[in-house]
Every structure is written in C-alpha cells, then in structure tokens.
Structure 1
Amino acid sequence: MSPGEQASPSPEERLEEALAEFHERWERDSSLSVEAFLEELPEAPPGLREALETLLDLETDGGLGATLGPRDGERLPPAVGPYLVMGRLGAGGMGTLLMVRGPGEEKGVYAMKLLRKTLSWEPRARERFERECKVLQEISHPGIVRLRGYELDADPPWMVMDLVEGENLQELLRERGPLPPRDAVALLLQVTESVGFLHERGVIHRDLKPANLVLDAKGTPILIDFGLAASGGWSTMTRSGDLLGTPAYMAPELARGERATHLSDIYGLGALLFALLSGRPPHQGEPLSVLERVGRRRPPRLDASLKLPRDLRALVEKAMAFEPEWRFQGAAELGAKLRDFQRGNWISGLHKPLGQRLREEWRFYRPRLFLGAGLLVLALAVPLLSRLVEKARLRDLREALLSGTRAYLAEDWPEAKRMGRQALALDPGDPVARFLAGEETRSPLAQAAARLRAGDSSLALPLAQEAARRNPEAPLPAALLGLAAFRAGKNRLAARELVSARRLLPGTPKLLHFLALTKLRERDPEGAMALLNRALELDPKRPDSLYQRAKLWAGRKDFQKAYADIQSALKLRGKREPSLLNALASFLDGMGRKKEAEAVFREILERFPERPKVLYNLALTLDGLDRIPEAAKVYRMVLDRGPRDPKTLLALAWLYSGSQRETCETCRRQFEEHPKLLDFPAARKLLLEGVAKDGGRNDSILAAAVQIALRIGAEGDLAGLLDSLSRRKKISDRRLGRIVRHKRSLEKHR
C-alpha cells in the first residue's frame, strides 16, 4: 500500500472502537441495552455481542465499577496500590482518572490514570500506556505534568501524576471563543518552550491539541497526555492502518501513515495557534474525511474576517506548511518568532522561497499546468519575471511609506513630504502616500491628523478609526488612531493600536513614548519605565520622555536622577516651561533643598499666578520649612482659586490639627504665637469634605484622614462617612476594600 493510501480498519480495531463507544454511552445512560446498540450499527464486527455482554456483566457486577471508580451511588475502592482513593475525576476511551492521596510521607493529592480493563489485554493499548509512563519518567519541566509513580503489572495498570487543577484549552475556547493575538501568542510560546524541551531529549509528542493542555492556577499551560509520544527507544506505532492521534490537528505526513519527526510537532504547534486565534480546529468533519483532506490538500488558512496581523497569519501558515522542510525547523526558531511578535517587532523571514511556491503550484494545482509544455514554460517564466518586478516595486513602496511615516511622527515635515512624493511615484493612488506628499486634505486620514494637531481628540477619533479601517496594513493610520484614542481617554484601544503600529515601525520613539503613557494609566510604572528607557536610547533628545521618566524616578524616591532628567529636558526646550519648572522645584524639595524649591515655585507664580498646583506645592514646601502661617495662607489661596482638591483639603486639615507641633519646637512656637491656627472644628470640616470628594479613590487620602481624625477626636464622624461611602451602589471591589480596610484601622485605634 502506498504511503498516501489508508487501510480499512481491521476487525479487531472495529471491535475495540465499538466497545469504547458503547462504554462511553453506557456511562452517560445506563439504560442502554446491547440489542439497542447493535441495531444502530450498520455492520457489527465478529464477536461484538459476546464482548458487549461480558463488558456489561463486569460493569453491573462491580468488576470495572469497583476498579475504575463508580458513578453516582456506587462504591469507590478504598485504595489502588499504596494510594488512597479520594474520588473520581473523569473517564475516557482509554481509562479512568481518580483523585488519590499519596502514601507515607507523600501526603499530597494526585491524579491516577487507570487503563480500562477491557483494553488491558489489548497489546497496542498496553504499549501506548507503557510508553506514556516511560516518557514521563524521564522528563521534569514546569510546563509538563510530573509523573509520581506507575505500576504496569497491576490489573489494571496505573500511573500517578501531579493533579493539575484548571480548565483545558479546549474548554477555554468553547467558553470564550478566539483569544486576542497577544494572549494566544503568549500561551503558545510557553507550549513551544515545553515542546522544545521534549525535542532536546529526543521525544516527539505527536498529539498537540487544546484538550491536552490544562491551564494551572497561574495560567501556565501544562501538557498532560503523552500516550502517543515517541522517544528514541520506542516504535512510533504508526503502522499501516494503525493511525493514532487527532486528525484535526495532525500533520499531513502522519495522516499519510509516515513516520513522525520533530517537525510534525511544529505543525501541531501551528495548528494549536490556529485554534487559539480562530476558536476552532484547523479541520472539521468526520475523522476519515479529515484524514483524507489533511494528507492530500493544502493546509487551511486563517479567515480574513478575523483581522489578524499579517505577519502572525504568515507565521501560522509557515508552521503548518504541507511539507516538513517548509516549516520552522525547530521549536527554538518558532519561539524566537513568537518573541518578536510579543516585543512588538515585525516578524521577518516568513516569505516563501521561489522553489516552495513552484512546488506548491505543482502539488495542489497540477491540472492547471498540463495545458502543454510551451504554455507551462510561458506560464512560469512570464509571471515569475512580472512577480520579481512587482515585488521590487512593493518593497520600495513599503520602505518609502515607512520612512515617511517615521519622519511624520518625528515632526520632520520636509522629510515626510519627500518620502511621500517618492511613494507616489511608485503608486500614484496610495492614500497614505498622497497624504504624506501633501496632495490629500479631505480624506479621513488627513482630517484626523488635522484634528489631532488642533487638539480636538473627540472629532479626531472617529476619523482616525475610519482611516485605519480603509488602510488596515499601513502603520500611520494605526499610529494616529492610537494617539487619538489616548487623548480621548480610550486607553485600551490606544494601547492596541500603538502596539500594532510599533510592530510595523520598530524603534519609533514617539510610539514608545505614548505606549509608556498607556502603561502609566494602567498603573504599570515598571512597564512605562522600560518603554521610556528604550525611547531615550533611540532619541536622547526627547524632552517629553525625559519629563515622564523624571516623574517615575521621583516616584521611586530617586530625586537625583529625576533632577538630572528634568534639567536635561529644560535645556532641550530652551525655555523655562511652567510644568518643567514645577517638576524641578518638587524634585529639589524631595532632595531637601527646600529654599531653592521655594525660589523656583515663586518664579513660576510671578509669571502664572493662577496655577493651583504650583501654589499647593509651594504650600507643602513652606510647611516643610516650618513656616506654618505662610503655608496656611497659601493653602487657603489654593482652595479659593481652584477646585477644592481633596489633597489640599486634607493638607490644610492636617495643618489646622497641629501639623508637627508635637515633635517640632519651631512649629510649637508658631502655634503659640498664632493660636487661631490650631482649629479642630475647621480641621474636622475640611477632613470630611476632602474624604467625601475623594470617595475612597486614593489610599493616601484615607490614611491621612485616619491620622487627622484620631488627632482631633473625629473618629465617629469619619467612620460614619466611610460607612456611607461603602454602601454606594456603583463602587468597585478595589475601592470598597480600601474603604473597609481604613475603617477597620480607625476602629482599631479608637
């Protein structure tokens, strides 16, 4: 029989399949009779009736029921081998899974797999079970289930593994549907690392699919089934007519009955990513028809309606290539490409060589090529020449558009226009090229850019969305959409589009800068710092990135580095901008140079007297200099000139409650000289107003409120207010937890 043909199942195989099907259906419905089951079969294999009656006798007499674990109302065996049985986890065609407790010092809870008794006499089933034990015995990896022990001579044989509690990826896809590309890639990268570990030890898994991966409590995918794995000392069990595996995820060479290699697992990883991105297996249908399709036809492609990144689609296509030599040549190579995607880089090296394209044409579209020898030469030569010319044109067009986009984002308008004209010479109708060249002012892209420059993000956002819809492969519309979404407060949309643009334009400082700002909105200062560092490596002369990084250094209490960054930003700006000066003064205050900080704050206020934030910072500095009356005056100016900010209200309440008079001699004398500053009723009023305005959003506000309340005897008032805030209908769990925690702290110290 040729490798591409499939043998008809033998009578023994048909008998085995029928027994397994009957047992699974009988477990779901114990009223199923042998007669009813046989009537449904078009042709029963020899000996099936006798085997079914024997199986049913074993089930009803307690033979298998006692060994494999009972259904509702039946008795569990107290132990299997040295392990105490705690319950039943599930059952399948090969056996049953029990929850057991280890003997002696091994008091942990594990999963025990028992081979079904009706299969224990079948050599292939025992060989498969034995292989799984032997393979797992030699493996220790965090992404692979750990074997604890096994007994092949028991009746039935069993193995004990770590119990991985969680849902498998098949259940996850059934519940959630397709995963976002970044989540799918992150999951597959972990699986790829586990498979690479197996390949380094000469083990081929051969059955990679969502059902064989369980997400543990940390979200790590764990490989749990090695019944088809093959290692150096074991036969592959892919004999003619004895195909094992899951057709929907099977590599073409396995579907044809050929020997498995590590490249068969590369196909399996590609098929797994296909399922994660689309929510369905690569092939669907009856197993035999799927086998025929997998072994002879071109692998399927991801549906264009999924709107996946082009390079990610190409990665899946390469991993699932029909011929093994067309795929990634190892898990390490595939893992490197997945990491490129995670970092936001364009995945390179996915183009098909000319030889592969010709072989695909010959294999899958051979009838088209039998029009005659002369036509064949013509059909190959002319398209090849035109394809090479077109490929060069598209490459030059892409480079011109990318360079123009980089220049536009760097606000290098002459260079952007020059590259736009160069792109227009290659494609006069390209909308992005027309915009860059200044020849298009009425398109959604041009109008979105104009609205963004004017600061009108609310109108820029829908225009940018339309521009990105019309030009899904171009980085500039994605970048403008990301910027418009950020300025409109749509942080999730902004992050997604900026990542998409960054992958097409790696090493663009402006995109890195705004991605860092999205991280700050997500309260991820570490991620923001990494992106800002990268942006400043590429362009050290970005004052806005220096300013943001300086604030992050200050958040870490590293005021020296914050001071250095803000000084650099001021030099680059060439003028003393209020926001930069305010930051500089705050960092000087943090470094203990309060007199210098006061001078800078007063310099700002001379030019911009109506800046509440600067006034507030000046009041804090005066308070730190123990100039209590001046600080109180400035705090009151803040409340009079701007919105009554909770921080200002609490700061003034703290001052009215006595500030540092208990530990500071200068403060104590000033309160004696100005007795009206010690005003508990005013402190109470400001305290309650500040907490009510904050609504429990800020932990620091609540912590300060508790201290002030304990100091002035307003514990009952504050407790009542916190109780009222906690009963609001629309309140997040995080805010509620914060309020409850500080209320308990208040009650503890009363």
Structure 2
Amino acid sequence: MGGPGHEGSTSAAPPSVPVLVADRYRPVRFLGRGGMGVVYEAEDTRLDRRVAVKMLTAVDGLTGDSEAWDRFRREARALARIDHPGVVTLYDSGVHDGTPYLVMQVLDGTSLADLVSQWAPLPTPVVCTVAFGIAEALEAAHTAGVLHRDVKPTNVGITRSGRVVLQDFGLARLAGEAAITRTGAIVGTPQFMAPEAMRGALPERAADWYGLGACLYLMVTGDLPFGPTVDYGAIIQRALGDGVPQLSGRRWDCPEDLCQLVDDLCRQDPAQRRQNAETIRETLLPLTYGGTELLADLVQGRVREDAVRAAHVVPRVPHPVSRVEEVPEYLWDEEAALPAQRETPPDPFRPATLSDATRRIVLGSMTPQSALSRQREAVNLVLRGRLQEAAQMLSVVVPVCLSTLGPDHPTTLTSQYWHAVCLARLDARHDALKLFSSVNRRVTRRTDGHDD
C-alpha cells in the first residue's frame, strides 16, 4: 500500500517490465500498482487473448522447494475452485524470475473506488446492488474454503453491464508472510481492515464481512470510515477506539434496515458481527430494485468520461528513452486512490489513465510501424464491442501518429476516426462529432490539395 514502510509506496524504485512472462504472456499496457504488486494487461501468445497479469512483488524471491511456494500453489488452486460470476476468473499462475504471478480475466468497466469518487453518496438501489454482489462473491469463496482478507473499493470491479466482480482473493495472506520480516509493515488498507487484523490476529470470515461493511459505509455516506487522513496511526487508533461511526439513528438518506446492517457488519468484536450471508442478502435484496440498470448507467458514464478525457490529451513530442523495457511511472496506487488522501485532489479516485510520464515513455518507445499495428488491434476491439480497451489503446496511438507522422498522414486520420467511433458508441456524441469533423476537414484538404 502507498505509505511509509510499504512496498506499495510510490517512492520505491520501479522494476523492469518483463518482455515475456513465463514465455507466454506479453505485457501490452500497464494497468496499476498496489501493495501486492503490479498489474499489466497482456497478450496470451498461445491462445491469442487479452489477460491481466498480476506480478506479486510483495512476495517475490520464491524458490520451487520453499514452503511459501507450496502454499502459493495451494492458494492458486483454491482460487481456481471458485466458479462464480462475482469472482474474477483465474486462468493461470506460476513464478517468473522468483516473482509469483497470477493470470486473470480482463474486466471492462471501472472500480467501486472510481464510482464513489464521482457519484458518492450512491443511490440506495446502487449501494445494495453492489453490496449484494460482494456478499454473493464472499459466500461462494467461503464455501470453497477461500478468504479474501482485503475487501476494499479498489478490489471491487463493476462491468459496463452492472455486474459486480470481487478481485484479489486470498492474496493478503501471502503478503502477510512477506511482511513478517519488515518492521512496522502493515498488510492491508487500514480504512477497511478489521480491528482483529490490526491487532495481529489471523483474519477469519468475519474480517471479510467487516470489509463489506466499511465499503457500505463509504457508499452510503461518501466518507471514509475514519475520516480524511493519511495518518495510519490515527486511523488505527480510531478503528481500535470508537470504531466506525454508527449510522443508525442518524439522518441519512437511506432505509433504517440498511443503516443497521452497516452497523452490524462494522462491529469491533467479530463474534458480535453479522456474518451470515443469507441474512445479509435478505436485508439487501428488497432494496436492489432497479439497481443493476442504474449501476450500469453510472459505470458507462464513467467509461465515457475517461474516453473523452483521453481524446483531448494534448500530444507532446516524445523524448528519448534509455530503456524501452523500463516500467512507466506508476499510474496510481491503491492508497492514494482513496478519497481525501491529498490536498484538494481533482479526483480522489483517479482512473488508471496514462500519466504524462507514462505517455512520454510509451511515445518514445513506439514506432510508426508499431502504432499502425496497435491501430489495427484497436479497430478489432471496436468491432468486437470492447470499446473501453479500444479507446485506451487509441489514446496512445493517436499522439504517436501526430508527433511522428503528422496530422495529415492516413494512419493518423484513421486512428482519429476510430477514436471518434469509440466516443460515439460510448454516447459521447458531441466530442465524437468534433473529432469526425476534424478528420473530415483534413481528408478534404488532402483530396483537394488546399486549405479550407
């Protein structure tokens, strides 16, 4: 996690991007970084499909005959046993140069963290739909003998259809072993960590339900459970002191049953905490009416805004890069992505879009030939309906073409045209029309041989 004494800190030296993980997975886009490690979108060269590869740098240094490696394999096998639409699918696992990795499905959409940053507090049907999805995922995992141990907004994905998907099951336990050798290290996110875990007890199922309660508190109120502070000591003191503020009896624009559920899930004593999945779902279900449709609308609005923002990035001439394989500056870290962690942030739950430093490195390493290849790949994504991925890819391809080929080159114009198609299909019609018009003017000028 991002903070002093954590391997997730942005001050840590970035590792090298593996050219090919396990002789099979080729990273094509850096997605993000958290306390467990780094995540890439990658190409599975054997099956020709997009996957997410998570390099667990928090537990690197594994050897094939170590106890940690044996347990990592057991954890991976346990994760693979969970067959549920609310749990991200695990495709593969292994160790690459001493660093364990997991290969998972790529989800289109956004995270609960991003959603809250834009819309909090969320409408009650949306709150209960998200919570219901998390509860079902946790029940499926617990039935399979797997604990999550790190339920928080950045680990909750929401697809464009409104499906809730819980990610990173069971990984905090691996990080916990690595943290034993690091004095003062904290494993997990204190704002959403169960009090018993803070005291050093091995988390059980009740800790996962506490994480759901903390997420519910954030969705209902729009505030972090222990206030806008980055001081881990202050957060832990509040968590072990008065605990999460109670919602029952206070004026909130949500049903009393929901407020009581949040209070029950956030109790300090795990023995008193509500942790029966069936009763939790029974409370939530009557309040979810229309929630999936509204949730899908909110997610698509977020995806649309990200695509529009990427389309308006001003291209810069790329600077030379000494090592093409160097990891770009980290796009965001999970702790910094939580609300009120910075002074007047423009967007507390920043989406994982390309930073200026990242864009500079990408531009410096991409040739016109590779840009053309990426353009064709993006077109295929558009035709297959994977608009978010296509828009993100074109947001890099277009500046490359503008800076290396020029604004009137056919490859530049084609890339901009397909970027406009993405915007139009994401309902950003005004921005799409402006881009279409710009492309049309330049095509006309090329054909007629004169300016407008």
Normalized against structure 1, the TM-score is what? 0.34
Q: 1:335 aligns with which of 281, 285, 289?
A: 281
CA change 1:79–1:204 in 2 (3 A) is: closer
1:65 aligns with 2:20: no
Give the aligned partner of residue 302 of structure 1. 247
Q: 2:26 aligns with which of 66, 84, 96?
A: 84
Give the aligned partner of residue 291 of structure 1. 236
Matched residue of 1:17: which SS? Answer: coil
1:207 aligns with 2:150: yes
Please report how far the alpha carbon of residue 296 of structure 1 lies from its aligned counterpart in structure 2 after TM superposition. Answer: 3.1
Distance 2:69 2:240 in 1: 28
Give the aligned partner of residue 167 of structure 1. 110
Please report how far the alpha carbon of residue 101 of structure 1 lies from its aligned counterpart in structure 2 after TM superposition. Answer: 1.9
Amino acid at match of 1:313: C
Q: Per-residue CA shift, 1:684-715, capped at 9, x if unaligned? A: xxxxxxxxxxxxxxxxxxxxxxxxxxxxxxxx
Q: Per-residue CA shift, 1:9-63, capped at 9, x if unaligned? A: xxxx999936653xx247xxxxxxxxxxxxxxxxxxxxxxxxxxxx5xxx6xxxx
CA change 1:156–1:81 in 2 (3 A) is: farther
Distance 1:260 1:318 in 2: 18
Matched residue of 2:150: which SS? Answer: coil
Distance 2:243 2:67 in 1: 32
CA change 1:217–1:228 in 2 (3 A) is: same
CA contact (8 A) 1:145 1:162 kept: yes
When Rg is computed on C-alpha atoms for both structures, the one with the higher figure is 1
The structure in which a higher percent of residues are helix is 1
Give the aligned partner of residue 107 of structure 1. 48
Q: RMSD value over aligned CA atoms?
A: 3.7
Distance 2:60 2:262 in 1: 39
CA contact (8 A) 2:59 2:100 kept: no
CA contact (8 A) 1:255 1:292 kept: no
Distance 1:228 1:334 in 2: 25
CA contact (8 A) 2:86 2:137 kept: yes
1:179 aligns with 2:122: yes
Give the aligned partner of residue 391 of structure 2. none
CA change 1:216–1:19 in 2 (3 A) is: closer
Amino acid at match of 1:100: A
Distance 2:22 2:41 in 1: 11
Matched residue of 1:306: which SS? Answer: coil
Q: Per-residue CA shift, 1:260-287, capped at 9, x if unaligned? A: 2212222221111111111222123311
Matched residue of 2:16: which SS? Answer: helix
Distance 1:176 1:112 in 2: 29
Distance 1:92 1:200 in 2: 27
Distance 1:200 1:18 in 2: 32
Distance 2:179 2:79 in 1: 20
Distance 2:60 2:21 in 1: 19
Q: Which runs of 5+ in 1 are unaligned?
A: 1-12, 27-54, 68-76, 345-732, 734-750
Distance 1:250 1:235 in 2: 13
Give aligned-pair identity as a percent: 29
CA contact (8 A) 2:172 2:187 kept: no
Q: Which runs of 5+ in 2 are unaligned?
A: 291-426, 428-452
Amino acid at match of 1:136: L
CA contact (8 A) 2:121 2:222 kept: yes
Distance 1:149 1:84 in 2: 14
CA change 1:327–1:86 in 2 (3 A) is: same
1:225 aligns with 2:156: no
Normalized against structure 2, the TM-score is what? 0.55
Q: 1:98 aligns with which of 40, 45, 66?
A: 40
CA change 1:16–1:299 in 2 (3 A) is: closer
CA contact (8 A) 2:20 2:27 kept: yes
CA contact (8 A) 1:145 1:224 kept: yes
Distance 1:124 1:168 in 2: 34
CA contact (8 A) 2:176 2:187 kept: no
CA change 1:274–1:306 in 2 (3 A) is: same
Amino acid at match of 1:299: V
CA contact (8 A) 2:197 2:207 kept: yes
CA change 1:101–1:292 in 2 (3 A) is: same
Amino acid at match of 1:170: A
Please report how far the alpha carbon of residue 247 of structure 1 lies from its aligned counterpart in structure 2 after TM superposition. Answer: 1.1
CA change 1:320–1:236 in 2 (3 A) is: farther
> After superposition, where does 1:139-178 map in structure 2 within 5 Å?
139-152=82-95, 154-178=97-121
CA change 1:124–1:309 in 2 (3 A) is: farther
CA change 1:237–1:280 in 2 (3 A) is: farther
CA change 1:229–1:203 in 2 (3 A) is: farther
Please report how far the alpha carbon of residue 208 of structure 1 lies from its aligned counterpart in structure 2 after TM superposition. Answer: 0.9
Amino acid at match of 1:81: D
Please report how far the alpha carbon of residue 151 of structure 1 lies from its aligned counterpart in structure 2 after TM superposition. Answer: 1.4
CA contact (8 A) 2:78 2:144 kept: no
Distance 1:148 1:295 in 2: 39
Amino acid at match of 2:236: L
Count of residues in correspondence between the two structures: 283
CA contact (8 A) 1:191 1:221 kept: yes
CA contact (8 A) 1:130 1:152 kept: no
Give the aligned partner of residue 311 of structure 1. 257
Amino acid at match of 2:274: F
Distance 1:83 1:132 in 2: 21
> After superposition, where does 1:500-519 map in structure 2 within 5 Å?
none
CA change 1:186–1:15 in 2 (3 A) is: closer
Amino acid at match of 1:209: K
Greater RCO, CA 8 A, separation 6+: 2
Distance 2:141 2:170 in 1: 14
Amino acid at match of 2:61: W
Distance 1:124 1:246 in 2: 26
